[in-house]
Amino acid sequence: MSELPLYLLLGVFCGLVSIALSSCTSVAIETVESLQRTTGLPKSASPALGGLIVGLLALMYPEVLYWGFENVDILLESRPFTSGLSMTILVQLIGVKVLATSLCRAFGLVGGYYAPSLFIGAATGMAYGKFMRFAFTGPEPLLHVPFLDVASPQAYGLVGMAATLAGVCKVPLTSVLLLFELTQDYRIVLPLLGAVGLSSWITSPQRFTKSIRSKLDAQEKKSSIAQEANDMATDNKQATSMDTADLSQELCKIESSLCVNDTNVKNIFENLTVAEAMKTNYCAVSMRTPLIEALDLMLVEKQPFVMITENKTSVIGLLALKTVQDFFRATKSTRTQAEVKELLVSHVCQGGRCKSWSVTPQMPLTTAEKIMDSHGLDHLPVVSEHGNHQQRGLLVGFVDRECIAITQRAMAMKEFFTSMYETEKEER
């Protein structure tokens, strides 16, 4: 087929339009949420405001409203006694429909992407087809290609519907079968497969996952460098915190007992202390300990850090595995095996790299969690606060996010079984 490249190019355009719809929807949702936070707009009023905005758009472009598939028929010029829309109007309808769909989704109006994607695809294909006929077979063609026989704009409109549906809803096979069922023409299968395949490839989640991951890695590297320059006492743990939050959400979906939503249980959490959650089995080294020994200790105990103490009692700081990795990455110098063996913990901790915040056993557990969140930490040393001057500040253990999560879940289950037992007792 001589015009197959034209259909492939249409698939590229439909993929880009699909990306524009998804991106515009994301921006609209973020904007509306920010508006609700800043102005105090109740969520119950959001659909009314969204309907008002879309209604104003419909005064200028009534085709953007949903009339069943009547408006798609108008775009495809398939109804008798209906005049077709110009290429300029079709391009305008693409932008307005994308905007209207995004606003409806953002303001909470009920609806999906299926019908809008068909409308947007039909408008894209019709505008593209009319431009190609004007460019190749018009009275004054822009390009004269004798062997190229350009099909009617309706053919491009139908292929555009399938390609946009595949790009937006990620259903390429469904799109191909749907359009073939509508046309009953096997000659359109090859260009249809090409356009749908290109549109799906452009909007594939794998491409966006790699792009987003590279951006997140760049942002994490930037924030790590800035934080190290401003405050050498903290480690950048934002990615770990995000992973922990995502893991907690997945656990909640799998097992509801791991989720804590009850108000009474949350009140109990506020009364928990660090002493109830801390671990007393920890690994300790001194500033004069060889770095190799500290790493071996982490490996044996399966812990990503070791405590740095003075005389095995007073805590000086915390040496994390990430700190060691950053140290070797920052130096970027090749060392011999003998030089590596001579490295001490003090070499890595120069410039306050190993300094850490600390908490006391009687401190509220929520306070320790806030310190972790505000400074991007996952571990905190626990030091004593009672006794004489020599005993005060002695290392007694550590607390981390895993300790806090386990303690909270255990307390939640204990409260659940206690309340259930009391309920059964009252019923008896």
Q: Which residues contact 355 (CB under 8 A, 6 or more apart)?
A: 232, 233, 317
H runs (alpha helix) in 319-400: 321-331, 337-342, 345-348, 365-375
Q: Note the pLDDT of residue 161.
A: 92
Q: Which residues contact 271 (CB under 8 A, 6 or more apart)?
A: 364
Q: Note the pLDDT of residue 229.
A: 42
Q: Where are the CATH 1.10.3080.10 domain residues in the chain?
A: 4-203
Q: Note the pLDDT of residue 114.
A: 86
Residues 393 and 383: beta-carbon distance below 8 Å: yes
In tens digits, what is the pLDDT along the chain, a chain of 428 residues? 677 888 899 999 999 999 999 999 999 999 988 888 888 888 888 889 989 999 999 999 988 887 777 778 878 876 665 667 888 999 999 999 999 999 998 988 877 788 889 999 999 999 998 898 888 776 676 666 666 777 888 888 999 999 999 999 888 898 888 888 877 777 888 888 999 999 999 988 645 544 545 555 555 555 554 454 444 434 444 444 444 444 444 444 444 444 444 444 455 667 788 888 888 888 888 888 888 888 888 888 888 888 888 776 677 888 888 888 888 877 766 666 777 778 888 888 887 778 888 888 888 888 888 888 888 888 888 888 764 444 456 888 888 888 888 888 888 787 777 776 666 666 55
Kindly tell me the sign of the dihedral angle through the C-alpha atoms of 152, 156, 161, 162: positive
pTM of the entire predicted model: 0.49
Q: Note the pLDDT of residue 215.
A: 52
Q: Where are the CATH 3.10.580.10 domain residues in the chain?
A: 234-427
Q: Note the pLDDT of residue 226.
A: 46
Q: Note the pLDDT of residue 284.
A: 85
Helix axes 114-137, 4-39, angle to 10 degrees: 140
CA-nearest of 326, 143, 309 to 232 is 326
pLDDT in tens, 137-196: 766 766 666 667 778 888 889 999 999 999 998 888 988 888 888 777 778 888 889 999
pLDDT in tens, 273-295: 888 888 888 888 888 888 888 88
Tell me if the domain spanning 4-203 has CATH number 3.90.70.10: no
Classified by CATH at the fold level, domain 234-427 comes out as CBS-domain (3.10.580)
Q: Long-range pairs for 181-185 at CB < 8 Å and ≥24 separation?
A: 182/158, 183/158
318/380 Cα distance (integer angstroms): 8
Residues 160 and 125: beta-carbon distance below 8 Å: yes
Residues 86 and 136: beta-carbon distance below 8 Å: no
111/134 Cα distance (integer angstroms): 36
